[in-house]
Chains A and B, each alone.
Chain A
Amino acid sequence: MEQAPSAESVEVVHVDASFEPLVPKFLTNRKKEVVTMREALASQDFETVRTVAHGMKGAGGSYGFDRVSELAAVIEQAAKTRDSSTIERDLPVLDSYLDRITVVYD
């Protein structure tokens, strides 16, 4: 049974307050991309995984979500070498991380 995230597992990310109107869409799109990559992995479509992860790596860095960028970089690198076990391991980590993000605008 899935547990609700505990207070300890919440990931606080500080973001420039002026980005507030853009961040919800940014996070929604990253969640969609996790689904896209999962489906692509299921069909061994590593090129799609690589392309999506590359875009997420850059977007994460631009918005200040450094952990998103780091995880996407690992997935992108794994896709380049068709390393499905690393992608299978890190996609759920990324998915879970996105679920636990609490944004603080300052």
Chain B
Amino acid sequence: MKQKHKILVVEDEADTADLLKHVLEREGFSVLQAKDGRQASTMIGTVRPPSLVLLDLVVPYVSGSELLKLIRDHPDWCHTPVIMVSGDSYGPDIQQALRQGATAYVTKQKGSAGLIEAMRRVLHPPASSRPQPVLKKLPKATRKQRPSARRRPRSSHGNKRAA
């Protein structure tokens, strides 16, 4: 049986957190939530790394930027893809997040469809961006079902993009 990707959602705005949980579960992901930076930082030290982190840039107690640094400095979590999610689309903030190790940056104005699209790109990168294009010969349907996270290179967060 195919195992669900576990997604850690760090989001303090309750309605947005509810929506993300709803959308992600509908899309077949398993969801772990942290409502502020303090909860998230505790998780980073105590639970197994998820498949991906959706990290709000502005959260109470420990900021998104600080959490990103904690993730990148943690031996078990350091290769976990992190998508920064923000209500702001200020260019320097986006560039800074990507420099600090964010895998992608998505603005909330893009809605849930934009976020899911970015997640799919991160979790299932196109074959052309993988180091070993062994999946090229497989039929499309089979390729979609492959657990691509296992094939992700150790530096998967290096494939950076702003959405």
To the question of whether A and B form a pair in one complex, the answer is yes
The answer on a CB contact under 8 Å between B22 and A63 is no
On whether A59 and B13 interact (CB within 8 A), knowing A19-B19, A22-B18, the answer reads yes
Contact B111 A54 (CB under 8 A): no
Which B residues are in CB contact (< 8 Å) with A59? 13, 15-16, 19, 108
Counted as pairs of residues, one from A and one from B, with CB atoms less than 8 Å apart, the total is 56
User: Across the interface, which residues of A come within 8 angstroms of B28, CB to CB?
Assistant: none
Chain A residues whose CB sits within 8 angstroms of the CB of B26 once the complex forms: 18
Verify A58–B13 contact, CB threshold 8 A. Answer: yes
Contact A63 B107 (CB under 8 A): no
In the assembly, what is the distance between CA of A54 and CA of B87, in Å?
7
Question: Which residues of chain B from 63 to 104 have any CB-CB distance to chain A below 8 Å in the complex?
Answer: 86-87
B18 nearest in chain A by CB position: A22
Complexed CA–CA distance, A69 and B19 (Å): 16
- Closest residue of chain B to A29, judged by CB? B15
Most B Cβ at <10 Å: residue of A19, A55, A64: A55
Q: A22-B18, A54-B58 are in contact. Are A61 and B111 (CB under 8 A)?
A: yes
Contact A19 B111 (CB under 8 A): no
Residue numbers in B under 8 Å from A69 (CB-CB) = 87, 108-109
User: Which of B12, B20, B26, B109 counts the most chain A CB atoms within 10 A?
Assistant: B109
- A55 contacts across to B, CB distance below 8 A: 12-13, 16, 87
| A16 at the B interface (CB under 8 A) | yes
SS class, residues of chain B in contact with chain A: helix
Contact A63 B109 (CB under 8 A): no
A16-B112, A69-B109 given; A58·B16 CB < 8 A: yes
In this assembly, does A25 line the interface, its C-beta being within 8 Å of a C-beta of chain B? yes
When C-beta atoms are compared, the residue in chain A nearest to B110 turns out to be A61
CB of A76, distance to nearest CB on chain B (Å): 8
Bound Cα distance A75, B18 (Å):
24
Contacts of A25 in B (CB 8 A): 15, 18
Does chain B have a CB within 8 A of A26?
yes
A26 neighbours in B (Cβ, 8 Å)? 15, 19
Among all A-B residue pairs, the 7 with the closest Cβ atoms: A58-B87, A61-B109, A58-B108, A61-B108, A55-B13, A57-B87, A59-B16
**B binding-site residues for A, Cβ under 8 Å:** 12-16, 18-20, 22-23, 26, 56, 58, 86-87, 107-112
